[in-house]
A = this chain, B = another copy of it.
Amino acid sequence: MARAGVTAERLTLAAAELADEIGMENVTVAALARQFGVKDASLYFHIRNAHDLRVRVALLALSELADRVASALAGRAGKDALVAFANAYRAYAMEHPGRYAAMQIDLDPETAAASAGVRHAEMTRAILRGYRLAEPDQTDAVRMMHSTFHGFVSLEKTGGFRHTPRSTDESWARTLDALDAVLSNWPA
């Protein structure tokens, strides 16, 4: 019998693409097996279980996102860097809704510590160097930034902004202006 050449990496990538097409909640071990022309039981040689698969997709997504943010950030500083970061983040979420959804599962601490989430956090802090914030304001500002980005993207995707005609692109741009303003003048 010809072997399908399944590996954990190929499974993870296929799961990520499937997630972007049909939604993460519909990515099942059985559906994935079908894509490879293989029985579902066979996949358990490569992944531990369904949760393991989701974690792998989340880690892939975190790493891809960190890469995109990193290259968007190259050579920029201040508001320029803030906007580049934010746009890279939102663009990734819009292009890859399934991967973005996968990123939201909570990883156990050691997995999270070994993930690209760390690079992500470092880049966020790097942006704030342009705004000269000392601790603990810096941590608070990082958290606010991240909250704004994630909250906006998440509400946009679940239709939380649909009831108003205003363009979400415009609102996004103005939100970034506001964020820049408050970071430049962080209240005591």
Contact = CB atoms under 8 A, between A and B. Distances in A.
B163 A113 contact: yes
A8 to B, nearest CB: 24
Q: A interface, how many residues as a size bin?
A: 35 or more
Interface stretch (A28-36, A41-49, A134-142): A134-142
Main secondary structure on A side of the interface with B: helix
B147 A152 contact: yes
Nearest to A164: B139
Interface string A117-139: 11001000000000000001101
Interface in A171-185: 171, 174-175, 177-182, 185
B152 A154 contact: no
A160 B142 CA distance: 11
Interface of A: 104-107, 109, 112-113, 117-118, 121, 136-137, 139-144, 146-152, 154-155, 158-164, 166, 168, 170-171, 174-175, 177-182, 185-187
A13 to B, nearest CB: 24
